A and B are shown apart, each in its own frame.
Chain A
Protein backbone atom coordinates (compact mmCIF):
# COMPACT_ATOMS: atom_id res chain seq x y z
CA UNK A 1 0.00 0.00 0.00
CA UNK A 2 2.77 2.36 0.98
CA UNK A 3 4.50 1.57 -2.24
CA UNK A 4 1.28 2.22 -4.19
CA UNK A 5 0.80 5.62 -2.54
CA UNK A 6 4.40 6.44 -3.17
CA UNK A 7 3.93 5.63 -6.83
CA UNK A 8 0.81 7.82 -7.03
CA UNK A 9 2.66 10.67 -5.32
CA UNK A 10 5.55 10.23 -7.70
CA UNK A 11 3.30 10.22 -10.78
CA UNK A 12 1.40 13.27 -9.49
CA UNK A 13 4.66 15.08 -8.86
CA UNK A 14 5.93 14.22 -12.29
CA UNK A 15 2.68 15.26 -13.96
CA UNK A 16 2.55 18.44 -11.96
CA UNK A 17 6.13 19.18 -12.82
CA UNK A 18 5.50 18.48 -16.47
CA UNK A 19 2.48 20.78 -16.48
CA UNK A 20 4.49 23.61 -14.94
CA UNK A 21 7.22 23.22 -17.50
CA UNK A 22 4.94 22.89 -20.51
CA UNK A 23 5.89 25.56 -23.01
CA UNK A 24 3.27 28.07 -24.07
CA UNK A 25 2.57 28.73 -27.73
CA UNK A 26 2.51 32.42 -28.68
CA UNK A 27 1.19 33.52 -32.06
CA UNK A 28 2.29 36.55 -34.03
CA UNK A 29 0.38 37.47 -37.16
CA UNK A 30 2.14 39.15 -40.07
CA UNK A 31 -0.60 41.22 -41.62
CA UNK A 32 -0.62 44.47 -43.56
CA UNK A 33 3.20 44.55 -43.36
CA UNK A 34 3.09 44.63 -39.57
CA UNK A 35 3.94 42.14 -36.85
CA UNK A 36 0.90 41.80 -34.60
CA UNK A 37 1.40 42.10 -31.71
CA UNK A 38 4.47 44.26 -32.28
CA UNK A 39 5.95 43.15 -28.94
CA UNK A 40 5.71 39.50 -27.90
CA UNK A 41 6.78 38.69 -24.34
CA UNK A 42 7.43 35.01 -23.68
CA UNK A 43 9.17 32.78 -21.17
CA UNK A 44 12.36 30.95 -21.99
CA UNK A 45 11.39 27.66 -23.57
CA UNK A 46 8.11 28.95 -25.00
CA UNK A 47 7.28 28.55 -28.67
CA UNK A 48 6.52 31.51 -30.90
CA UNK A 49 4.71 31.00 -34.17
CA UNK A 50 4.61 33.63 -36.88
CA UNK A 51 1.99 33.29 -39.62
CA UNK A 52 2.31 35.28 -42.82
CA UNK A 53 -1.18 36.52 -43.68
CA UNK A 54 0.12 38.88 -46.37
CA UNK A 55 0.09 38.08 -50.08
CA UNK A 56 3.87 38.56 -50.29
CA UNK A 57 6.87 36.81 -48.69
CA UNK A 58 8.45 38.14 -45.50
CA UNK A 59 11.19 37.12 -43.11
CA UNK A 60 11.41 37.12 -39.31
CA UNK A 61 15.02 37.85 -38.49
CA UNK A 62 17.07 38.76 -35.41
CA UNK A 63 20.59 37.41 -35.80
CA UNK A 64 21.56 37.97 -32.16
CA UNK A 65 18.62 35.82 -31.02
CA UNK A 66 19.46 33.08 -33.50
CA UNK A 67 16.09 33.85 -35.07
CA UNK A 68 15.77 33.56 -38.84
CA UNK A 69 12.78 32.21 -40.66
CA UNK A 70 14.35 32.52 -44.08
CA UNK A 71 11.85 33.53 -46.76
CA UNK A 72 8.41 32.88 -45.32
CA UNK A 73 5.95 32.49 -48.19
CA UNK A 74 2.44 33.95 -48.20
CA UNK A 75 0.28 31.85 -45.91
CA UNK A 76 3.29 30.13 -44.36
CA UNK A 77 4.14 29.67 -40.69
CA UNK A 78 7.41 29.61 -38.81
CA UNK A 79 7.98 28.31 -35.28
CA UNK A 80 10.81 29.27 -32.98
CA UNK A 81 11.68 28.00 -29.51
CA UNK A 82 12.74 31.07 -27.53
CA UNK A 83 15.63 29.91 -25.37
CA UNK A 84 18.00 32.82 -24.95
CA UNK A 85 16.72 35.42 -22.50
CA UNK A 86 16.79 39.01 -23.62
CA UNK A 87 15.05 41.68 -25.65
CA UNK A 88 15.45 41.23 -29.38
CA UNK A 89 14.45 43.65 -32.11
CA UNK A 90 13.62 41.65 -35.19
CA UNK A 91 12.92 42.74 -38.75
CA UNK A 92 11.71 41.57 -42.11
CA UNK A 93 14.88 41.73 -44.19
CA UNK A 94 12.79 42.15 -47.35
CA UNK A 95 10.80 45.12 -46.06
CA UNK A 96 12.83 47.43 -43.87
CA UNK A 97 9.73 49.24 -42.56
CA UNK A 98 8.67 46.10 -40.66
CA UNK A 99 9.96 45.81 -37.11
CA UNK A 100 8.96 43.71 -34.12
CA UNK A 101 10.26 42.89 -30.65
CA UNK A 102 10.63 39.55 -28.94
CA UNK A 103 11.17 39.65 -25.19
CA UNK A 104 12.33 36.36 -23.65
CA UNK A 105 12.08 36.31 -19.84
Chain B
Protein backbone atom coordinates (compact mmCIF):
# COMPACT_ATOMS: atom_id res chain seq x y z
CA UNK B 1 0.00 0.00 0.00
CA UNK B 2 2.81 2.34 0.93
CA UNK B 3 4.38 1.66 -2.45
CA UNK B 4 1.22 2.75 -4.25
CA UNK B 5 1.01 5.92 -2.22
CA UNK B 6 4.63 6.63 -3.06
CA UNK B 7 3.94 6.13 -6.78
CA UNK B 8 1.08 8.65 -6.65
CA UNK B 9 3.13 11.15 -4.68
CA UNK B 10 6.13 10.72 -6.96
CA UNK B 11 3.96 11.06 -10.07
CA UNK B 12 2.39 14.29 -8.92
CA UNK B 13 5.59 15.67 -7.44
CA UNK B 14 7.37 15.02 -10.71
CA UNK B 15 5.18 17.75 -12.18
CA UNK B 16 6.64 20.14 -9.63
CA UNK B 17 10.17 18.86 -10.24
CA UNK B 18 9.61 19.21 -13.96
CA UNK B 19 8.49 22.75 -13.44
CA UNK B 20 11.66 23.53 -11.56
CA UNK B 21 13.87 21.82 -14.13
CA UNK B 22 12.24 23.40 -17.16
CA UNK B 23 11.88 27.08 -16.51
CA UNK B 24 8.25 27.15 -17.71
CA UNK B 25 6.99 23.88 -16.15
CA UNK B 26 4.61 21.66 -18.10
CA UNK B 27 3.02 23.22 -21.16
CA UNK B 28 -0.73 23.50 -21.65
CA UNK B 29 -0.95 20.32 -23.74
CA UNK B 30 0.88 18.39 -21.00
CA UNK B 31 -1.30 19.94 -18.30
CA UNK B 32 -4.38 18.86 -20.24
CA UNK B 33 -3.09 15.28 -20.32
CA UNK B 34 -2.28 15.35 -16.58
CA UNK B 35 -5.75 16.69 -15.70
CA UNK B 36 -7.59 14.15 -17.84
CA UNK B 37 -5.47 11.28 -16.49
CA UNK B 38 -5.79 12.41 -12.87
CA UNK B 39 -9.59 12.42 -13.22
CA UNK B 40 -9.70 9.12 -15.07
CA UNK B 41 -7.60 7.40 -12.41
CA UNK B 42 -10.13 8.41 -9.76
CA UNK B 43 -13.08 7.45 -11.96
CA UNK B 44 -11.63 3.94 -12.34
CA UNK B 45 -11.10 3.56 -8.60
CA UNK B 46 -14.59 4.95 -7.92
CA UNK B 47 -16.18 2.41 -10.27
CA UNK B 48 -14.47 -0.39 -8.40
CA UNK B 49 -15.63 1.02 -5.04
CA UNK B 50 -19.20 1.27 -6.32
CA UNK B 51 -19.28 -2.47 -6.85
CA UNK B 52 -16.84 -3.76 -4.25
CA UNK B 53 -17.16 -1.58 -1.14
CA UNK B 54 -19.04 -3.07 1.79
CA UNK B 55 -20.05 0.20 3.44
CA UNK B 56 -22.94 2.06 1.79
CA UNK B 57 -21.21 5.36 2.53
CA UNK B 58 -18.06 4.21 0.74
CA UNK B 59 -20.12 2.96 -2.21
CA UNK B 60 -21.87 6.34 -2.39
CA UNK B 61 -18.54 8.14 -2.22
CA UNK B 62 -17.19 5.99 -5.07
CA UNK B 63 -20.28 6.77 -7.14
CA UNK B 64 -19.85 10.46 -6.49
CA UNK B 65 -16.20 10.32 -7.55
CA UNK B 66 -17.30 8.76 -10.84
CA UNK B 67 -19.96 11.44 -11.39
CA UNK B 68 -17.85 14.43 -10.38
CA UNK B 69 -14.60 13.48 -12.11
CA UNK B 70 -16.52 12.51 -15.25
CA UNK B 71 -18.11 15.98 -15.18
CA UNK B 72 -14.73 17.66 -14.69
CA UNK B 73 -13.19 15.63 -17.52
CA UNK B 74 -16.08 16.45 -19.83
CA UNK B 75 -15.57 20.11 -19.10
CA UNK B 76 -11.77 19.85 -19.57
CA UNK B 77 -12.15 17.93 -22.83
CA UNK B 78 -14.63 20.48 -24.18
CA UNK B 79 -12.21 23.28 -23.37
CA UNK B 80 -9.11 21.72 -24.91
CA UNK B 81 -11.15 20.86 -28.02
CA UNK B 82 -12.28 24.47 -28.25
CA UNK B 83 -8.72 25.69 -27.73
CA UNK B 84 -7.44 23.13 -30.26
CA UNK B 85 -4.98 21.84 -27.67
CA UNK B 86 -4.15 18.18 -28.12
CA UNK B 87 -3.32 16.57 -24.75
CA UNK B 88 0.35 15.58 -24.85
CA UNK B 89 1.41 12.46 -23.02
CA UNK B 90 4.22 13.05 -20.55
CA UNK B 91 6.01 11.25 -17.69
CA UNK B 92 3.69 12.70 -15.03
CA UNK B 93 0.55 11.51 -16.82
CA UNK B 94 2.17 8.12 -17.43
CA UNK B 95 3.16 7.75 -13.77
CA UNK B 96 -0.33 8.74 -12.67
CA UNK B 97 -1.82 6.10 -14.94
CA UNK B 98 0.62 3.46 -13.71
CA UNK B 99 -0.04 4.39 -10.06
CA UNK B 100 -3.78 4.18 -10.70
CA UNK B 101 -3.47 0.75 -12.26
CA UNK B 102 -1.37 -0.48 -9.33
CA UNK B 103 -3.91 0.88 -6.88
CA UNK B 104 -6.74 -0.92 -8.69
CA UNK B 105 -4.72 -4.15 -8.76
CA UNK B 106 -4.08 -3.86 -5.02
CA UNK B 107 -7.72 -3.05 -4.22
CA UNK B 108 -8.87 -6.08 -6.18
CA UNK B 109 -7.02 -8.32 -3.73
CA UNK B 110 -9.01 -6.91 -0.80
CA UNK B 111 -12.59 -7.23 0.36
CA UNK B 112 -14.96 -6.06 3.07
CA UNK B 113 -13.69 -3.55 5.60
CA UNK B 114 -10.09 -3.95 4.37
CA UNK B 115 -11.13 -2.82 0.88
CA UNK B 116 -13.10 0.15 2.27
CA UNK B 117 -10.18 1.31 4.39
CA UNK B 118 -7.58 0.92 1.63
CA UNK B 119 -9.77 2.72 -0.92
CA UNK B 120 -10.61 5.62 1.38
CA UNK B 121 -7.03 5.97 2.66
CA UNK B 122 -5.83 6.17 -0.93
CA UNK B 123 -8.51 8.72 -1.82
CA UNK B 124 -7.32 10.98 1.01
CA UNK B 125 -3.70 10.79 -0.15
CA UNK B 126 -4.58 11.09 -3.81
CA UNK B 127 -6.76 14.16 -3.49
CA UNK B 128 -4.21 15.87 -1.25
CA UNK B 129 -1.47 15.12 -3.80
CA UNK B 130 -3.59 16.46 -6.68
CA UNK B 131 -4.39 19.67 -4.76
CA UNK B 132 -0.68 20.17 -4.05
CA UNK B 133 0.21 19.60 -7.70
CA UNK B 134 -2.50 22.04 -8.82
CA UNK B 135 -1.31 24.73 -6.44
CA UNK B 136 2.42 24.31 -6.97
CA UNK B 137 2.61 23.43 -10.65
CA UNK B 138 -0.47 23.07 -12.79
CA UNK B 139 -2.24 26.37 -12.05
CA UNK B 140 0.95 28.49 -12.00
CA UNK B 141 2.22 26.86 -15.23
CA UNK B 142 -0.98 27.12 -17.27
CA UNK B 143 -0.47 29.71 -19.99
CA UNK B 144 -3.91 29.88 -21.54
CA UNK B 145 -6.24 32.00 -19.41
CA UNK B 146 -9.25 29.73 -19.97
CA UNK B 147 -7.30 26.61 -19.04
CA UNK B 148 -6.00 28.33 -15.91
CA UNK B 149 -9.55 29.47 -15.06
CA UNK B 150 -10.87 25.93 -15.47
CA UNK B 151 -8.21 24.58 -13.11
CA UNK B 152 -9.08 27.24 -10.53
CA UNK B 153 -12.79 26.49 -10.98
CA UNK B 154 -12.46 22.73 -10.45
CA UNK B 155 -9.89 22.87 -7.65
CA UNK B 156 -12.66 23.11 -4.99
CA UNK B 157 -13.97 19.76 -6.25
CA UNK B 158 -10.78 18.13 -5.04
CA UNK B 159 -10.97 20.04 -1.74
CA UNK B 160 -14.57 18.92 -1.17
CA UNK B 161 -13.66 15.33 -2.04
CA UNK B 162 -10.68 15.42 0.31
CA UNK B 163 -12.92 16.71 3.10
CA UNK B 164 -15.49 13.99 2.40
CA UNK B 165 -12.81 11.28 2.24
CA UNK B 166 -11.32 12.42 5.56
CA UNK B 167 -14.73 12.22 7.22
CA UNK B 168 -15.19 8.72 5.85
CA UNK B 169 -11.71 7.78 6.99
CA UNK B 170 -12.53 8.98 10.51
CA UNK B 171 -15.84 7.11 10.58
CA UNK B 172 -14.26 3.87 9.33
CA UNK B 173 -11.64 4.16 12.04
CA UNK B 174 -14.27 4.13 14.80
Q: Which A residues are closer than 8 A to B by beta carbons?
A: 31-34, 54-57, 74, 94-98
* Chain B nearest CB, measured from A30 CB (Å): 11
In the complex, A55 Cα to B67 Cα: how many Å? Answer: 10
B10-18, B103-111, B150-158 - the one binding chain A? B150-158
Grouping DSSP codes into helix (H, G, I), strand (E, B) and loop, the A interface class, with mixed when no group exceeds half, is loop
Q: Which residues of A contact B67 (CB under 8 A)?
A: 56-57
Inter-subunit contact A74/B167 (CB<8 Å): no
CB nearest to B78 among chain A residues: A55
With known contacts A94-B64, A95-B164, A96-B164, A34–B71 Cβ distance under 8 A: no
Nearest CB on A from B100, distance (A): 20
Cβ B71 vs Cβ A96 within 8 A: no
Q: Closest CB of chain A to B12's CB: distance in Å?
A: 21
Known: A32-B152, A94-B64. A55 touches B160 (CB 8 A): no
Q: A55-B154, A56-B68, A94-B64 are in contact. Are A33 and B159 (CB under 8 A)?
A: yes
Bound-state CA distance A98–B164 (Å) is 12
The answer to whether the Cβ of B75 comes within 8 Å of any Cβ in the partner chain is: yes
A36 to B83, CA, bound (A): 28
Number of A-B contacts (CB under 8 A): 40
List residues of chain A with CB within 8 A of the CB of B152: 32
By secondary structure, the B interface counts as: helix
The reply to whether A98 and B160 contact each other, CB–CB distance below 8 Å, is yes
- Please determine whether A56 and B153 come into contact, CB atoms closer than 8 angstroms: no
Residues of A within 8 A of B163 (CB): 96-97
- Contacts A/B (CB < 8 Å), 5 sampled: A31-B153, A32-B152, A74-B71, A95-B157, A95-B164
A55's partner among B64, B74, B155, B159 (CB-CB below 8 A) is B74
Asked whether A57 lies within 8 Å of B153 as measured between CB atoms, the reply is no
Contacts of B142 in A (CB 8 A): none
Closest to B60 in A: A94
Min C-beta distance of A42 to chain B, whole Å: 26
Contact across chains for A95 and B160 when beta carbons are under 8 A apart: yes
- Known interface pairs A57-B71, A96-B163; 9 further A-B residue pairs with C-beta atoms within 8 A, sorted by A's residue number: A31-B153, A32-B156, A33-B159, A54-B71, A55-B71, A55-B154, A56-B157, A95-B157, A95-B160
Interface residues of B in 122-174 (CB under 8 A from A): 152-157, 159-160, 163-164, 167
A96 pairs with B156, CB closer than 8 A: no
A2–B75 alpha-carbon span in the complex (Å): 66
A31 to B157, CA, bound (A): 11
